[in-house]
Structure 1
Amino acid sequence: MLLRVLSQNVNCSPVITQTLLETKAKEYDIVLVQEPYWGFLHNVLSSVSSTGEEYLGTQIHPHWTLVEQGGPSCVATYINKCLSPLQPKLCTHLVNHPDLLLIAIPDGQRPLYILNVYNDADCTALHYLNARVHVLPAIDIMMGDLNLHNNIWDPAYSHNDHAVTELLDFTNSLGLVLLNTDGQPTHVPHARGMVRTSTIIDLIFVAGRIVEAPTTIFFIDPDGWLLSDHNPLLLSADTSLQLPPGIPRIERKSDAEQMFFADCVLAISGLNPTPPLDSIEDTQRLCDTIFSRIDEAFATHATIPSINQRSKTWWNNKCSLALACFRETRSREDWRIYRRTIRKAQRTHYDTIIHETADKQR
């Protein structure tokens, strides 16, 4: 299957993270976030406080499975629920660091390993990786904010950070190849008219077999930054991952269900006159015929559902329009309008759920 991965530093913004999770669920399988928001989400019931206790964390979403270390950290990984049958796993026994997340997706005899990296100014994550390079598996994809400058990936940059040698030694030892060598910026100052030049500090390294695959596509989205100062890194790579076939179903109380019932009635009524039932064999043949026609009707109207939680999302058309308006103008005012729009949509959505739940319990 074609694995689609997005990586972006979101500058600790819950709005940027929410936007990615809402708008990219049908486009990407994995979202790697650096510097995610961590803080107050909502109050939860408490035995010691009438107002409840603060629940701290980062964003979750019904379309995605959040993978995190637990507690404040500089990385978070979201795995699309469509990959749930593959049972991706967090490999803390191999990499256990607040600035790193290593996930493994089972793929036959050898898992596919994806590493999400945030490397701070002290190169804490890089030092950790180099100290454990002898126990690490063969990583297939490494993406994130490396915070390192070098003219290998940024020809316009004259100063080379001393830790680059350490990074290249690490990637070479694992057989990883750098993809973004075209000089396209990934880090752009917030004030886009500033004299400060844009730089390349968000990098992607992949295994050699991924580089050589003709279907591998990598690019940097210069328009996908929202209000982050980092452009998203986007990767599509053909893998040997195979999703197990889903089970066809017919949604209850749907048009498909009504058509299924109608086809069953039509098929069974077509058996008139009823065949003679003079023996057990006659009865068995009739039953087999009925079940066969029901199976045919089911196969006609059943579909394989997308894997998702049952809860509906709060995103609506007004959110989409507000986001499109901001992307068109890139103005702070339209960003504020967008934030107000999604907050109103969330409030309306969850108020409706609360009222519906309260009505059911009466």
Structure 2
Amino acid sequence: MSSSPTEVSGGGVFQDVHIFSQNVNCNYAHVDYVLENLKDSVDVLFFQEPPWRTIRQTVSIALVESDIVMGAPRYPDWLYMVRPPTDECNPCVIAYVHRCLAHLCPSMQWDIIDHWDIFVLSLFTPKGAVNFLNIYSDNAHTAINLLSQEVNMLPAFIYMGGDFNCHSKVWDPAHTLYPLVAQHLLEFASDVRLEWAHSSNPGLTHTLHNPDLASSVIDLVFMGPLSMLSDLPRLDLNCCGPLDHVPISTLVPISEFEIRISRMVILRKSPEESGFLIDITTGLWALNVEDLFSPDTIEVATSAVAEVFSLAWNAHAKEVVITACSKS
């Protein structure tokens, strides 16, 4: 990992971005601590479940009482980016971008996807835009399901990280199951050319303080194949603080990414979509689902359903070339 924000080549080109991701469990003091202590070593802070409270009061010319300003901690070294609350729903993801990246015009892309659990950050390099995802997915898997539904409308990404609240034997050896939501997450990642990146120092990421509850791995990072050749994510145990989520530090190269890439899609109202739906219907009709009275048989049936969808997708999906700014 770099010891100072953003390594820059001799020609002034940004080489990589150091990202620190953690579920901070609404802990204002910890966020304040991280902002101060990582300002010389990290480029982007991705927080899940950030604190959201009164930070100051301002004088109002219209009201006798002062206006209350809500938000998360601010710090002069960091550009503060957050989706404002709507319908009394506070944001579940937030980003702080170090001012050393100001030349890359960091932008929060509401137009790509607008949801309080999903944050899209774009940086604009000499080769074009590169996109990053900060995710908080609740116990109902809201963010994962939304990403899966909107995958054909999303651009390419070079990083996705956060608290996914998703258990799977793929990233947690203590779990023996491979739930459907985990498959959806992996399929989405594959569709946007990302892969799950195991940590260089593997370990539990959600270490519960209650000894009666089992700790697990639910904080994840997904990276592009080129990124994983250079530097794997690292569990940043020294910066965990009093929280039960271990932060993950990742060095993401951005200089070698070409903007034009391809991915597999099925266009809406196309012949491929018709064939896909026919294969799905035929495959599901042929399944034996009479005995669903035990967890094992339910898991087998779930895997069979997933296999039907996978075979149909592979048979009818077509490769299309997109750009980092493309939305179709």
TM-score (norm 1): 0.63
- Equivalent in the alignment of 1:99: 117
Write the letter of the residue equivalent to 2:22. Q
Asked if the contact 2:207–2:244 (Cα under 8 Å) also holds between the matched residues in 1, the reply is yes
From the two aligned structures, give the one with the greater helix fraction. Answer: 1
* Change over 3 Å in CA distance of 1:143–1:206 after alignment to 2: same
Residue-by-residue CA offset, 1:314-341 (whole Å, 9 max, x unaligned): xxxxxxxxxxxxxxxxxxxxxxxxxxxx
- Greater gyration radius: 1
Write the letter of the residue equivalent to 2:114. N
Deviation at 1:52, TM superposition (A): 1.7
Q: Percent of aligned pairs with the same residue? A: 27
Deviation at 1:196, TM superposition (A): 2.5
Q: Which has the higher contact order (CA 8 A, sep 6+)?
A: 2
Does 2:236 align with 1:221? yes
Residue-by-residue CA offset, 1:133-169 (whole Å, 9 max, x unaligned): 1121110000000000001100112344331111111
Asked if the contact 2:202–2:235 (Cα under 8 Å) also holds between the matched residues in 1, the reply is no
Deviation at 1:25, TM superposition (A): 0.4
List gaps (5 residues or longer) in structure 2: 1-14, 257-328
C-alpha separation in 1, matches of 2:128 and 2:166: 31
Deviation at 1:205, TM superposition (A): 0.2
Report the secondary structure of 2:205's partner residue: coil
TM-score (norm 2): 0.69
Q: Please, which moves more after superposition, 15-24 or 174-183?
A: 174-183
Report the secondary structure of 2:233's partner residue: strand
- Equivalent in the alignment of 2:247: 232
Report the secondary structure of 1:32's partner residue: strand
Deviation at 1:49, TM superposition (A): 5.1
Write the letter of the residue equivalent to 1:20. V
Aligned residues: 237
Write the letter of the residue equivalent to 1:28. V
Does 2:37 align with 1:23? yes
Asked if the contact 1:155–1:183 (Cα under 8 Å) also holds between the matched residues in 2, the reply is no
C-alpha separation in 1, matches of 2:232 and 2:117: 26
* Change over 3 Å in CA distance of 1:107–1:48 after alignment to 2: closer
Asked if the contact 1:153–1:183 (Cα under 8 Å) also holds between the matched residues in 2, the reply is no
List gaps (5 residues or longer) in structure 1: 242-362
C-alpha separation in 2, matches of 1:82 and 1:240: 16
- Equivalent in the alignment of 1:53: 67
Runs of 4+ more than 6 Å apart: none
Q: 1:184 aligns with which of 190, 203, 210?
A: 203
Asked if the contact 2:198–2:232 (Cα under 8 Å) also holds between the matched residues in 1, the reply is no
Deviation at 1:58, TM superposition (A): 1.4
C-alpha separation in 1, matches of 2:67 and 2:156: 43
C-alpha separation in 1, matches of 2:59 and 2:209: 39
Write the letter of the residue equivalent to 2:245. H
From the two aligned structures, give the one with the greater strand fraction. Answer: 2
Asked if the contact 1:66–1:79 (Cα under 8 Å) also holds between the matched residues in 2, the reply is yes
C-alpha separation in 2, matches of 1:80 and 1:35: 20
